[in-house]
Amino acid sequence: MSFEAELKTHYSEVIRRLRSAPPPLVISTPKQHPGPPPLKHPPLSTYKTSKLVSIYNSEAGLNRLLSKVAEWEGLDVSELHNSRQHNRKAIEARFVFYFLAYAFTSASLLTVGRVAHKDHTTVIYGLRRLSELRAKDEKLDARVSSYEADLSKLSTRKVFCCPLCGHPQDGKG
């Protein structure tokens, strides 16, 4: 068959297909996913508006909070900073720090991440992950709840700028 004859056959086939009825549309509905299980803890936004601990509102204060979390978890602060540390206890301690720093201070996620030597998106992931872990692990939930209680005690206590004077830390009164 010559090239011209082949081209003519192809052309007539294309014209026939264009003039025929279009194929039927197949519309499928996506499957509905059940979604994540409901969490028994209140959303983080409820923590943010209450229980702020003023002594941890600076980067130096967040470093103190990081040291406190390391002490509570029986770890060294360098283990919490180490991104190569794949120890479950260190990872959970990091998540606990993210949560406490977010819930009990007015620090932004960017500042919390900077203190922990992490990106703010890592902090967001850690907050979500801790919420999931607390729902599954009662011991972790009890530990975090006790840390929350300790920090809540601090938020109700008056903090003075130095032990000698009676001026509050914010300089008023």
Per-residue pLDDT of 59-97, as tens digits, reads 777 888 888 888 888 888 888 877 676 788 888 889 999
* CATH code, 44-156: 1.10.1750.10
Cβ(81)–Cβ(117) under 8 Å? yes
pLDDT above 70 (res 165):
no
Return the ∠ at Cα 34 (arms to 32 and 35), rounded to 5°: 110
Residue boundaries of the structural domains of the chain: 44-156
pLDDT above 80 (res 10):
yes
Q: pLDDT band for position 33 (50/70/90)?
A: low
Q: pLDDT band for position 142 (50/70/90)?
A: very high
C-alpha–C-alpha distance, residues 171 and 44, integer Å: 30
pLDDT value at position 62? 84
Q: Region 39-53: what's the mean pLDDT?
A: 54
Helix/strand/coil for 156: helix
Q: Which residue did the predictor score with more confidence, 128 or 28?
A: 128
C-alpha–C-alpha distance, residues 130 and 148, integer Å: 14
